[in-house]
């Protein structure tokens, strides 16, 4: 998920954390790490963030939209 790109994580309380690596994220939010998944309507499962301690962190990656 991170792959060295700056990623914005937002927890269930609206707190934002930015990190490039999981180690960097763990330094800002201490606790045990687990991956967080979400299912879409067709039943496919996607990795959408991390649960660290008592925080549920959803990942948001920047996207470049090319206009024609």
For residue range 6-48, what is the model confidence (pLDDT) as tens digits?
899 999 999 999 999 999 999 999 999 999 999 999 999 999 9
Give me 17's structure tokens: 């954390």
- The runs of H, that is alpha helices, within 10-58 are 22-28
Instruction: Say if 1 falls within a structural domain.
Output: no
Could you tell me if residue 46 is inside a domain? yes
Residue 17 lies in a domain: yes
Cα–Cα separations (whole angstroms), residue 30 to 25, 34, 48, 52:
8, 12, 19, 7
Q: What is the pLDDT of residues 38-63, one digit of tens each?
A: 999 999 999 999 999 999 999 998 87
CB-CB contact of 35 with 50 (8 Å) = yes
Q: How far apart are CA 14 and CA 11, in angstroms?
A: 5
Q: Which of 29, 47, 30 is nearest to 38 (CA)?
A: 47
Print the domain residue range for 51. Answer: 7-60
């Amino acid at each position: 998920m991170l792959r060295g790109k700056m990623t914005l994580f937002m927890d269930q309380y609206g707190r934002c954390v930015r990190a490039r690596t999981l180690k960097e994220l763990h330094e800002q939010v201490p606790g045990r790490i687990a991956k967080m998944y979400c299912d879409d309507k067709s039943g496919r499962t996607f990795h959408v963030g991390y649960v660290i301690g008592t925080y549920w962190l959803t990942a948001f990656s920047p996207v470049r939209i090319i206009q024609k």
